[in-house]
């Protein structure tokens, strides 16, 4: 009887773990991989399509809350300015915590943005993000996006789990 109970518990644990991996893979495919591609290519439309129209964007360091429309306008203006200045950018993500069920997700992680100006001078910028995602019409969308750059450095970034 003990053996049977152990087998059932082990199978349940492996099933839950496999389901979590499948959900993370789906979120990565639908959100994080296109997010990085759109960000790196200054694709404001593609980037904003990953967000819910009910988005709450909270840049903590600025002590602000933006709606979808306000955030979209900021992204478009920033992208246009960086493009005109011939800046290149790339973003990398790492995760500290990923909690999911089949319809909702809460994720905390770190980002590193590497920016190269027209003179080939490169700088790195680090931050910590917190996002909430919901499955809307069978697609994962970001509904809350918050970040801060306080006390985040290369070592903190590297402590996260790679995508």
- pTM recorded for the entire structure: 0.86
Tokens of 106: 């809460």
pLDDT of residue 13: 45
Structural domains of the chain ordered from first start? 2-162 (3.10.450.50)
pLDDT per residue, tens digit, the chain (163 aa), is 565 444 444 444 444 444 569 999 999 999 999 999 999 999 999 999 999 999 999 999 999 999 999 999 999 999 999 989 999 999 999 999 999 999 999 999 999 999 999 999 999 999 999 999 999 999 999 999 999 999 999 999 999 999 9
pLDDT of residue 3: 54
pLDDT of residue 7: 47
pLDDT of residue 162: 96
CA distances from residue 136 to 30, 47, 69, 133, 158 in whole angstroms, order as listed:
12, 16, 19, 9, 32
- Find how far residue 20's CA is from the centre of its chain: 17
């Amino acid at each position: 009887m003990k053996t049977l109970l152990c087998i059932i518990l082990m199978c349940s644990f492996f099933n839950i773990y496999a389901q979590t991996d499948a959900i993370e893979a789906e979120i990565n495919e639908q959100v994080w991989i296109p997010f990085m591609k759109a960000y790196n290519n200054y694709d404001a439309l593609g980037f904003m399509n990953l967000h819910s129209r009910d988005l709450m964007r909270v840049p903590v360091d600025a002590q602000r809350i933006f709606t979808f429309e306000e955030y979209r306008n900021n992204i478009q203006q920033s992208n246009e300015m960086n493009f005109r200045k011939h800046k290149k950018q790339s973003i990398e993500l790492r995760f500290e915590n990923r909690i999911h069920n089949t319809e909702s997700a809460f994720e905390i992680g770190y980002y590193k943005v590497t920016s190269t100006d027209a003179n080939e001078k490169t700088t790195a910028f680090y931050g910590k993000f917190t996002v909430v995602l919901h499955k809307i019409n069978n697609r994962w969308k970001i509904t809350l996006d918050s970040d801060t750059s306080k006390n985040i450095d290369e070592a903190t970034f590297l402590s996260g789990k790679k995508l």
